[in-house]
Chains A and B, each alone.
Chain A
Amino acid sequence: MEFLRPASWEEALAAKAEHPSAVPIAGGTDVMVEINFDHRRPGHLMDLNRIPELHEWEVGDETVRLGASVPYSEVIDRLATELPGLALASHTVGSPQIRNRGSVGGNLGAASPAGDSHPALLAAGAEVEAESVRGTRFIPVEDFYTGVKRNALAEDELIKNIHIKKADGPQQFSKVGTRNAMVIAVCAFSIALHPESRTVRAGIGSAAPTPVRPRAAEDFLGAALEEGGFWDSGATLTPSLAREFAELCAGACNPIDDVRGSAAYRRRAVGVMARRTLGWTWESYRGNRPGGTTTEGGAPCA
């Protein structure tokens, strides 16, 4: 094995072009487990820790540019206002030690259907900036996941940044697992209200071969909110509407039975999380409108 230690982004791209099978290592929280357990023996390990720009982020007018290696702990501490869904999701990852090292770039690189950042990125709206010596591509995150632990990166490409839409309304993230810390999701759900475009987006994790957006549910809810004048009136959501949204979200799943849970359980749990997170975000939207009141109480938990 050879250890590559590029000192700059350009060097990293050149090294990846020269050794397409080189395995990048950022926080190492996926890669090192595989190496420790002999599941992976790459010819080249490429350390990304020495590339400053991968650890930087920048809040723009409409999006946040998040460097691929920015650790979860920083997303939680610094970006909870702009990226509330991703910050909530980040907070459920592993433990403090894991959050101090693990990154959204690494989560995308691993492309596990259970990765917690994925539902939040899908709901907020995001693009992955992939670069190689050949040039740069901006890949909408919904096109990034191509199969179980597979992504759209070409062999010579690296993730430089993730461009995530700044929240223009309430966002939530919810995850089912056996306890609070150190849990790989049985399934996960994220929702983002977008009052500016009067749309709702959502993302589902660990309930299909890839993270998915429940498009039919999003379309249904968007139309129903529009037709019912809900965005302007800020009225309480009709229970039947929330129920229909939840059912459509459950219907967007294509889960499997595995050690963490059965397919039937996952489908049901996604429906429950969809209904609850919609309730929380809508109450928060109503409460934040001028003159609005909120009836939300207690800490949200799934």
Chain B
Amino acid sequence: MRVTFTVNGRQHEADDVWEGESLLYVLRERMGLPGSKNACEQGECGSCTVRLDGTPVCACLVAAGQAEGREVTTVEGLPEFARRRAGGAERAAGDAEAAAELSPVQQAFIDAGAVQCGFCTPGLLVAADELIERKPQPSDADIREALSGNLCRCTGYEKILDAVRLAAARADETREVV
């Protein structure tokens, strides 16, 4: 079957999709968006976390056909998504400067040393970004809760928590300046 939906603001289409195929498979293998990772295919690890009409979900548990006509945001779209949310102007596709730019939450993960092998990172970034959008000043309990569906085998989580705190604190400073 054919499925059509919006990914990171752009309409995407895939043909010959098997009816039982997951949104994750279609993103990675048919749409050339391998940012969302495939680790468990059973909802346990969160490395495939994307936003479906704004809501964080495991892309491995959404049937591709269920995404028809909907809006998906993946880690690849976070910089643009964050820019628009902050009221920034839209950039032309292929703008090299824009492509190299990172969203605040991505920058915070790097600055806090929260990335080791990086396999869990895309899912954590999507989940953390949504948390800060929903709760700009999250408590530690909020952060733990929001990231409880994302497993990391490398970092021991402390630096990931630091990164989310850092991203939230920076967002707060920016708001005060504005």
Contact = CB atoms under 8 A, between A and B. Distances in A.
Interface of A: 1-3, 5, 25, 27-29, 31-33, 35-37, 41, 45, 47, 49, 94-98, 100-101, 180-182
Given A97-B49, A98-B43, A36 B60 contact: yes
A95 B148 contact: yes
B63 A101 contact: no
Contacts of B172: none
A37 B42 contact: yes
Interface string B28-58: 0000000000000111101001000001111
A97 B58 contact: yes
A95 B73 CA distance: 19
A71 B61 CA distance: 14
Contact of B63 (A45, A180, A182): A45
B145 interface: yes
A49 B66 contact: yes
A95 B18 CA distance: 28
Given A29-B43, A32-B22, A97 B56 contact: yes
B63 A25 contact: yes
13 contacts: A5-B68, A25-B66, A31-B63, A45-B19, A47-B63, A49-B66, A95-B150, A96-B148, A97-B127, A100-B55, A101-B62, A181-B149, A182-B44
A88 B148 CA distance: 17
B61 A33 contact: yes
A100 B56 contact: yes
A240 B66 CA distance: 54
Interface string B1-31: 1000000000000000011101000000000
A254 to B, nearest CB: 29
Contacts of B68: 5
Interface in B117-166: 127, 145-146, 148-150
Contacts of B43: 29, 32-33, 94-95, 97-98
A24 to B, nearest CB: 11
A100 B57 contact: yes
B102 to A, nearest CB: 23
Contact of A182 (B41, B60, B146, B148): B148
Contacts of B20: 1, 35, 41, 45
Contact of A45 (B41, B55, B65, B146): B65
B71 to A, nearest CB: 14
A36 B22 contact: yes
Contacts of B150: 95
Contacts of A97: 43, 46, 49, 56-58, 127, 149
Nearest to B58: A97
A73 to B, nearest CB: 8
A232 to B, nearest CB: 39
Nearest to A45: B19
B61 A96 contact: no
Contacts of A28: 61-63, 66
